[in-house]
A and B are shown apart, each in its own frame.
Chain A
Amino acid sequence: GDKVKQSPSALSLQEGTNSALRCNFSIAATTVQWFLQNPRGSLINLFYLVPGTKENGRLKSAFDSKESYSTLHIRDAQLEDSGTYFCAADGSSGSWQLIFGSGTQLTVMP
């Protein structure tokens, strides 16, 4: 099964509303990263997390290693937030790669 499972797979929002994306892990992740792939195809690193939370403007992310999940909250969604959001987790100590989820496709509508 999927080691990094993202939900929902797709989401539509009205501009100005809030949403939450989630990643569940079946691996013992020690760090999590969130990326936005914009409509041009570029992958932008939004967050690098050890267990805990981080905030950057309208984005806030949390990582709970004990419960094996991470969330990305988007507040006051804007049109430019549209794109595909990927989370990726590393394994336990000694792991050498990030494992990516399949992404959440977000569309923000005016």
Chain B
Amino acid sequence: EAAVTQSPRSKVAVTGGKVTLSCHQTNNHDYMYWYRQDTGHGLRLIHYSYVADSTEKGDIPDGYKASRPSQENFSLILELASLSQTAVYFCASTWSNTGQLYFGEGSKLTVL
């Protein structure tokens, strides 16, 4: 079973502050993703990466940066957090772009 761990699991941030969400996977997967889920809705792709030191934009990249320093680690960075970025963020990984997707437990971000 793939292991994807996220930290922190919950965070309260102030508007304009910097937030970093971290993701670590231990299954040697090439592809890693950051999704956002708003209450009562599905998931929307923010950024993804298929190789270390490279990231790609998803459907809703504005206001977010991503970093993939190694195959195992993928971070989501909010340089200037805004109220509209309050959501639950999920990291996921898979071995290919059409492979079975494994999610982390989610990080609940509240921006005040």
Q: Which residues of A contact B (CB under 8 A)?
A: 30-31, 33, 35, 41-45, 48, 86, 88, 90, 95-98, 100-103
Q: In B27-74, which residues have CB < 8 Å from any A CB?
A: 33, 41-45, 48, 56, 58-59
Q: Which residues of B contact A88 (CB under 8 A)?
A: 43, 101
Q: Which residues of B contact A98 (CB under 8 A)?
A: 45, 101
Of B42, B97, B103, B105, most A-chain CB atoms within 10 Å: B42
Of A44, A90, A100, most B-chain CB atoms within 10 Å: A100
Check if A48 sits within 8 Å of B100, measured CB to CB.
yes
User: How distant is B100 from chain A, measured CB to nearest CB, in Å?
Assistant: 4
Check if B105 sits within 8 Å of A96, measured CB to CB.
no
Check if A97 sits within 8 Å of B45, measured CB to CB.
yes
The range of chain B's interface size is 20 to 34
Q: Residue B42 contacts which of A30, A48, A101 (CB distance < 8 angstroms)?
A: A101
Of B43, B56, B58, B101, most A-chain CB atoms within 10 Å: B43
Q: Which residues of B contact A43 (CB under 8 A)?
A: 90, 103, 106
Q: Which residues of B contact A45 (CB under 8 A)?
A: 100-103
User: How distant is A85 from chain B, measured CB to nearest CB, in Å?
Assistant: 11
Q: Which residues of A contact B99 (CB under 8 A)?
A: 48
Q: In B88-102, which residues have CB < 8 Å from any A CB?
A: 88, 90, 97-102
Q: Residue B48 contacts which of A41, A97, A101 (CB distance < 8 angstroms)?
A: A97
| Cα distance, A98 to B100, chains bound together (Å) | 10
Q: Which residues of A contact B105 (CB under 8 A)?
A: 41-42
Q: Residue A96 contacts which of B56, B88, B90, B101 (CB distance < 8 angstroms)?
A: B56
Check if B98 sits within 8 Å of A30, measured CB to CB.
yes
Q: Which 9 A-B pairs have the closest CB atoms?
A: A48-B100, A43-B103, A100-B42, A100-B43, A102-B42, A90-B98, A96-B97, A31-B98, A41-B106
User: How distant is A43 from chain B, measured CB to nearest CB, in Å?
Assistant: 4
17 A-B pairs whose Cβ atoms sit less than 8 Å apart in the complex: A30-B98, A33-B101, A41-B106, A43-B90, A43-B106, A45-B102, A48-B100, A88-B101, A90-B98, A95-B98, A96-B48, A96-B56, A97-B58, A97-B97, A98-B101, A101-B42, A103-B42
